[in-house]
């Protein structure tokens, strides 16, 4: 990386990571995904984050079974619901529900109504197909060897198609049930879905998520698509032979669907709502925060390997398109709809309409976990089967009377004071919207939270909830005569409480150990943390903060310099400046050394202070991000360290009998070692008389080698603990 | 014979009337027991889906004689490549393994399920062979639902209560070997299926 570019990147990093606590933060909910993160009851959300009242969804029947797996409708409009874990089929005719058939097996995953008026019920495990007459009397129609029956459908000739697992086969059973043949037998463990379009049969499988097109007469199957999903849960055929597949659990193979775009604004038809009034619900705090309107937000399609499911469209030409995908929601049920499909998902019980142009609208969120089947209802509506708990809902018609959006919990990370909340909505005459908030200091709302409090309508009113760390918003929409208000966005301002910065560590490097700047502006060797005014540094002033000492910095030695490095943290993420102070250990008063540093390293020229033992104190201040009076500081003292820039004093004399006596003395640090040299020969170690170098003064007596007939010069060299060196000379005649 | 009758007569669901009992007794004057001493798979090439292998079994009788048996194992045509476990076990051992996976005692939901369970009680003169692969399933109301698709697993996995328990293996081939001995012993072999 070019040096100039690298420096610019460093500077940018520092700027971006500063997050001033004294300035308001903003929490904005304006995208569909952000609304979907919360709980929506009685509301729909389109791909552009517009929230409006959804159609009413009355409970039609609660069968007291955990799962309603499948639905079928007969010619008279009666609905048959297959359930688990008691293997029961319920019949919903008008407003009356009866137990239609109770199978010996646990689960009923497939129900279809035949042209003969009988209801065909596929059970699991030990899969059997029962033909149940209108009177509820069953006869065993087909008993395949396979364990599960996942799907049933009639072909155009009236033969029953039976999709099975845990051997994935499709059986074709004659109308009278007396003969059958296998029309698909592949390597898959399960055939989980079937769809019939004229003479063509489509089947979806698991665990490889293959979509087959079967020619039943030729008993020939063609792989329409080998998807990157583990299961094709549902199939429907639309106009012109377009196949829609609900695919479950993306795999981590190569991912061609990554290029599938998310819904785009250009693809959406113009809104049809009759807008009468546009108003700002409550005024917003004036200053623009870090999340300013128009800030770019990147939306990426999740990788297939990360997705719970997708809706795949396959054109008759073989072209495929991913219309919808989700990393959180799994699709279970499909139904044809004009210009697309209706999709039921879990685990938050959501119903979507997905268009061929990839636009989507979340039509409703029901208080269940999975929407497992969809069937046509009366008056153009639909009937929805759910699981966990198992319930039958009706859905359709005009907008309901009321709906509630409850946001996810906002964690401000510190106790915060609240600014103002603004809900931007279109509110036609006769309709209403109100916002409410509550706050608390536990991540999950509980009894300790404040009660929901309505946000007053009008400018200048702050959020009425108590100061706390967590906040939740609720929007209640009330319609009138089938007309709904439309909520576009909610924006909340808050101010984090300023928290004290901390110095988490101080490293005192050995005396003289310094580090070279990784990036030098001048091209010469520059020392990290050295005051540029000092002549020993030799560097030019630099406006950019320096990098902390890392193991990647090149280590150098420069006498008289003492390097400190530290780490400062601010819980608010505020930018910090540092003041450095020092004191001798025996003194209690700190003296300023440097002030206002943005670096976290300092190379101190200790030649400016007397020898001795010292302590430094690093004070971190968050003044760049907070006004005077609100700014806080935190500090930490270093362990004591020695400053000694004076070499020891050495005296040398003859001690008689050819021996030499040397005395080395230092005023502040221990004598580390002593050596001698005769006539410029190599240095030889000598040892103190007491055998150990442990004091400020050491005496040495030694017999120099090679001291024959003179004259000779004996030089003694002593080194103190901080590396200061001095020598003394003795002439021997 | 007494235990199944006791289960039936004391069931909580409905009164049961036993119309007749068929009992067939064959008497031997020798101890007709044997232990499973060795088990191995004999194959000449790579094991693939659809291929045939032979499972060789060696028993040692009470008198010390050895008896060998060969069980043909035809791998299912849709068996996926990977590592499989071939469990060869006597009746009590296999039942213990299943109960360990079930993690609770079997409690039937109705009389039909109780009768199915009684009819599937295992005999001590059978040796049971199961070819197992790692595959997610569930035990629902005491019934093994092995190898379930992800969508079904996800719905059952979020069910409230403890009526659904996850399982991690699925049997792709089963064989019950009838012998003239009361069999004891078990072996587990590993079989690698190639692509």
Q: Where are the domains of chain B?
A: 2-193
Alpha-carbon distance A120 to A142, whole Å?
10
B143 touching A, CB under 8 A? yes
Q: How confident is the model at residue B161 (pLDDT cuts 50, 70, 90)?
A: low
| Residue pairs spanning A and B at CB distance below 8 A | 88
Q: How confident is the model at residue A162 (pLDDT cuts 50, 70, 90)?
A: very high
Q: How far is B147 from chain A (nearest CA, A)?
A: 7
Examine the pLDDT at B187 and tell me if it is beyond 60: yes
Average pLDDT on A159-166 reads: 94
A chain contacts of residue B109, beta-carbon cutoff 8 Å: 86
Alpha-carbon distance A432 to A543, whole Å?
56
Q: How far is A377 from chain B (nearest CA, A)?
A: 24
Residue A463's Cβ-count burial label (10 Å; 0-12, 13-18, 19+) is: buried
Q: How far is A207 from chain B (nearest CA, A)?
A: 7
Quote the pLDDT of residue B7: 87
Q: How far is A363 from chain B (nearest CA, A)?
A: 21
- From B140, B146, B150, residue closest to A85, measured CB to CB: B140
Examine the pLDDT at A81 and tell me if it is beyond 60: yes
Beta-carbon neighbour count of residue A421 at 10 Å?
28
What values do phi and psi take at B115, rounded to 5? Answer: -65, -40
A chain contacts of residue B156, beta-carbon cutoff 8 Å: 67
Alpha-carbon distance A170 to A214, whole Å?
10
Report how far Cα A663 is from the mean position of its chain's Cα atoms. 68
Alpha-carbon distance A411 to A471, whole Å?
7
CA distances from A341 to A333, A462, A511 (A): 10, 43, 74
| The most confident of A261-275, B6-20, B100-114, B157-171, by mean pLDDT | B6-20
Quote the pLDDT of residue A527: 77
Quote the pLDDT of residue A669: 84
Examine the pLDDT at A3 and tell me if it is beyond 70: no
Q: Angle, to 10 degrees, between the axis of helix B2-9 and the axis of helix B111-119?
A: 180
Q: How far is B67 from chain A (nearest CA, A)?
A: 34
Average pLDDT on B144-170 reads: 84
Alpha-carbon distance A84 to A63, whole Å?
10
Length of chain B measured in residues = 195
The 10s digit of each residue's pLDDT in B96-122 is 888 887 777 777 878 888 888 888 888
A chain contacts of residue B160, beta-carbon cutoff 8 Å: 66, 388-389
Average pLDDT on A188-195 reads: 95
ipTM: 0.80
Quote the pLDDT of residue A195: 96
Quote the pLDDT of residue A285: 24
Which has more confidence, A3 or B107? B107
Q: Give, for A505, the enclosing helix (H) or strand (E).
A: strand A502-508
Mean model confidence pLDDT for chain A: 83
Here the tokens at position A483 are: 């007309």
Examine the pLDDT at A104 and tell me if it is beyond 80: yes
A189 touching B, CB under 8 A? yes
Average pLDDT on A144-162 reads: 95
B chain contacts of residue A106, beta-carbon cutoff 8 Å: 140-141, 143, 145
- Give percent above pLDDT 90 in chain B: 39
B68 touching A, CB under 8 A? no
Spatial CB neighbours of A568, under 8 Å, sequence gap ≥ 6: A501, A502, A503, A504, A576, A578, A600, A618, A620, A634
B chain contacts of residue A369, beta-carbon cutoff 8 Å: 155, 158
Q: What is the DSSP string of B123-166?
A: PTTEEEEEEEEEEEEEEETTEEE-S--HHHHHHHHT-SSSSEEE
Quote the pLDDT of residue A629: 83
Q: What is the DSSP string of A459-494?
A: TTPPP-SPSEEEEEEEEEEE-BTTB--EEEEEEEEE
Examine the pLDDT at A5 and tell me if it is beyond 60: no
- From A106, A168, A346, residue closest to B140, measured CB to CB: A106
- Give percent above pLDDT 70 in chain B: 98
Average pLDDT on A207-219 reads: 90
CB contact under 8 A, A346 and B141: no
Here the tokens at position A447 are: 């009894």
Residue B151 and residue A233 in contact, taking contact as beta carbons nearer than 8 Å: yes
- Which residue in the block uniquely carries the two structure tokens 């070279």? A516
Examine the pLDDT at A258 and tell me if it is beyond 60: no
- From A107, A125, A206, residue closest to B149, measured CB to CB: A206
Examine the pLDDT at B189 and tell me if it is beyond 60: yes
Examine the pLDDT at A196 and tell me if it is beyond 60: yes
Q: How confident is the model at residue A216 (pLDDT cuts 50, 70, 90)?
A: confident
The 10s digit of each residue's pLDDT in A399-427 is 788 999 999 999 998 888 898 888 899 99
Nearest residue in B to A167, CA atom: B78
Alpha-carbon distance A333 to A341, whole Å?
10
Quote the pLDDT of residue B160: 59
Average pLDDT on A490-508 reads: 90
Beta-carbon neighbour count of residue A9 at 10 Å?
10
- Give percent above pLDDT 90 in chain A: 53
Mean model confidence pLDDT for chain B: 88
Alpha-carbon distance A186 to A201, whole Å?
15
CB contact under 8 A, B146 and A124: no
Q: How far is B80 from chain A (nearest CA, A)?
A: 8
Examine the pLDDT at A542 and tell me if it is beyond 50: no
The 10s digit of each residue's pLDDT in A644-682 is 888 999 999 988 888 999 999 998 888 999 999 998 889
CB contact under 8 A, B151 and A248: yes
The 10s digit of each residue's pLDDT in A460-482 is 467 888 899 999 999 999 998 88
B145 touching A, CB under 8 A? yes
Quote the pLDDT of residue A304: 56
Examine the pLDDT at A518 and tell me if it is beyond 50: yes
Average pLDDT on A614-622 reads: 94
A212 touching B, CB under 8 A? no
Examine the pLDDT at A586 and tell me if it is beyond 60: yes
The 10s digit of each residue's pLDDT in A335-365 is 998 878 999 998 889 999 999 888 889 999 9
CB contact under 8 A, B146 and A372: no
Quote the pLDDT of residue A305: 58
Examine the pLDDT at B36 and tell me if it is beyond 70: yes
CB contact under 8 A, B145 and A187: no
B119 touching A, CB under 8 A? no
Which has more confidence, B60 or A560? B60
Average pLDDT on A557-575 reads: 88
A447 three-state secondary structure = coil
CB contact under 8 A, A248 and B158: no
Range from A9-23, A587-601, A607-621, A699-713 carrying the lowest mean pLDDT: A9-23
Examine the pLDDT at A14 and tell me if it is beyond 70: no
CA distances from A273 to A41, A42, A211, A276 (A): 21, 18, 39, 9
- From A166, A188, A372, residue closest to B146, measured CB to CB: A166
Q: How confident is the model at residue A459 (pLDDT cuts 50, 70, 90)?
A: low
Q: How confident is the model at residue A280 (pLDDT cuts 50, 70, 90)?
A: very low
Residue A402's Cβ-count burial label (10 Å; 0-12, 13-18, 19+) is: middle
Characterise A252 by phi-psi region: left (phi > 0), alpha (psi -120 to 50), beta (else): alpha
DSSP A378: G
Which has more confidence, A464 or A591? A591
CA-CA-CA-CA torsion for A28, A31, A37, A42, nearest 10 degrees?
110
């Amino acid at each position: 990386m070019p040096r100039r570019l690298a420096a610019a990147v460093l500077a940018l990093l520092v700027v971006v990571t500063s997050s001033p606590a004294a300035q308001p933060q903003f929490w904005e909910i304006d995208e569909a995904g952000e609304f979907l993160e919360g709980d929506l009851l009685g509301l729909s959300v389109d791909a552009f984050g517009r929230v409006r009242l959804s159609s009413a969804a009355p409970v039609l029947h609660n069968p007291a079974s955990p799962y309603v797996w499948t639905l079928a409708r007969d010619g008279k409009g009666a609905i048959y619901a297959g359930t688990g874990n008691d293997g029961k089929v319920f019949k919903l005719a008008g407003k009356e529900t009866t137990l239609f058939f109770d199978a010996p097996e646990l689960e009923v995953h497939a129900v279809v109504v035949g042209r003969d008026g009988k209801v065909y019920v596929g059970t699991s495990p030990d899969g059997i197909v029962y033909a149940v007459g209108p009177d509820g009397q069953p006869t065993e129609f087909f008993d395949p060897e396979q364990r599960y029956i996942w799907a049933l459908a009639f072909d155009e000739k009236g033969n029953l198609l039976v999709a099975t697992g845990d051997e994935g086969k499709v059986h074709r059973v004659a109308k009278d049930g007396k003969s059958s043949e296998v029309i698909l037998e592949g390597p898959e463990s399960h055939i989980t879905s079937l769809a019939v379009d004229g003479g063509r049969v489509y089947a979806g499988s698991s665990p490889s998520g293959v979509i087959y097109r079967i020619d039943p007469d030729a008993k020939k199957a063609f792989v329409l698509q080998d998807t990157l999903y583990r299961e094709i849960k549902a199939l429907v055929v639309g106009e012109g032979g377009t196949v829609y597949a609900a695919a479950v659990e993306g795999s981590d193979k190569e991912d061609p669907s990554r290029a599938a775009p998310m819904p785009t604004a250009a693809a959406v038809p113009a809104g049809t709502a009759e807008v009468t009034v546009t108003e700002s619900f409550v005024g917003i705090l004036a200053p623009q925060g870090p999340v300013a309107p128009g800030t770019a937000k990147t939306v990426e399609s999740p990788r297939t390997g990360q997705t719970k499911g997708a809706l795949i469209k396959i054109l008759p030409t073989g072209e495929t398109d991913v219309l919808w995908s989700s990393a959180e929601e799994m699709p279970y049920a499909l139904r044809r709809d004009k210009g697309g499909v209706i999709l039921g998902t879990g685990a938050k019980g959501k119903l979507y309409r997905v268009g061929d142009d990839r636009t989507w609208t979340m039509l409703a969120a029901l208080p269940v976990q999975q929407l497992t089947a969809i069937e046509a209802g009366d008056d153009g509506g639909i009937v929805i089967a759910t699981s966990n708990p198992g319930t039958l809902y009706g859905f359709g018609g005009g907008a309901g009377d009321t709906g509630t959006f409850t946001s996810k919990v906002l964690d401000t990370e510190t106790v915060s004071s609240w600014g103002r909340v603004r809900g931007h909505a279109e509110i036609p005459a006769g309709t209403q919207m109100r916002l409410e908030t509550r706050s608390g200091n536990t991540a999950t709302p509980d009894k300790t939270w404040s009660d929901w409090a309505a946000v007053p309508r009008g400018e200048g009113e702050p959020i009425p909830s108590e100061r706390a760390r967590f906040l939740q918003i609720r929007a209640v929409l009330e319609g009138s005569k089938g007309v709904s208000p439309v909520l576009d966005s909610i924006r909340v301002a808050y101010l984090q409480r300023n928290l004290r910065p901390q110095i988490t560590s101080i490293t005192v490097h050995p005396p003289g150990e310094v580090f070279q700047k990784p990036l030098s502006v001048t091209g010469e060797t520059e020392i990290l943390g050295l005051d540029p005014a000092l002549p020993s540094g030799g560097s030019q002033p630099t406006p950019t903060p320096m990098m902390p000492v890392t193991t990647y910095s090149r280590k150098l030695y420069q006498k008289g310099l003492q390097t400190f490095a530290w780490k400062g943290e601010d819980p608010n993420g505020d930018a910090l400046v540092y003041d450095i102070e020092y004191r001798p250990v025996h003194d209690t008063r700190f003296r300023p050394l440097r002030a206002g540093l943005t670096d976290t390293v300092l190379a101190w020229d200790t030649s400016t202070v007397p020898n001795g033992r010292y302590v430094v104190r690093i004070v971190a201040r968050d003044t760049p991000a907070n006004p005077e009076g609100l700014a806080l500081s935190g500090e930490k003292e270093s362990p004591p360290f020695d400053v000694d820039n004076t070499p020891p004093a050495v005296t040398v004399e003859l001690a008689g009998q050819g021996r030499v006596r040397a005395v080395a003395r230092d005023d502040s640090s221990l004598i580390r070692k002593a050596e001698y040299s005769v006539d410029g020969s190599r240095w030889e170690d000598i040892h103190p008389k007491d055998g150990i170098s442990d004091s400020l003064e050491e005496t040495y007596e030694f017999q120099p080698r090679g001291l024959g007939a003179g004259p000779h010069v004996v030089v003694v060299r002593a080194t103190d603990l901080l590396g200061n060196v001095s020598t003394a000379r003795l002439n021997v005649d | 014979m007494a235990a199944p009758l006791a289960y039936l007569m004391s069931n909580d669901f409905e009164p049961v009337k036993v119309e007749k009992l068929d009992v067939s007794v064959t008497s031997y004057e020798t101890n007709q027991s044997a232990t499973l001493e060795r088990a191995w798979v004999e194959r000449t090439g790579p094991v693939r889906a659809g291929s045939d292998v032979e499972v060789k079994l060696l028993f040692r009788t009470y008198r010390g004689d050895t008896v060998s048996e060969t069980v043909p194992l035809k791998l299912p045509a849709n068996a996926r490549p990977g590592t499989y476990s071939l469990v060869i076990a006597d009746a009590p051992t296999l039942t213990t393994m299943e109960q360990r996976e079930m993690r609770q005692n079997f409690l039937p939901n109705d009389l039909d399920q109780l009768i199915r369970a009684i009819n599937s009680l295992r005999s001590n003169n059978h040796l049971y062979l199961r070819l197992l692969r790692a595959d997610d399933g569930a035990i629902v109301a005491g019934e093994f639902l092995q190898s379930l698709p992800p969508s079904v697993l996800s719905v059952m996995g979020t069910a409230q209560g403890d009526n659904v328990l996850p399982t991690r293996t699925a049997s792709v081939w089963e064989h019950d070997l009838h012998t003239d001995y009361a069999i004891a012993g078990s072996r587990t072999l590993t079989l690698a299926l190639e692509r």
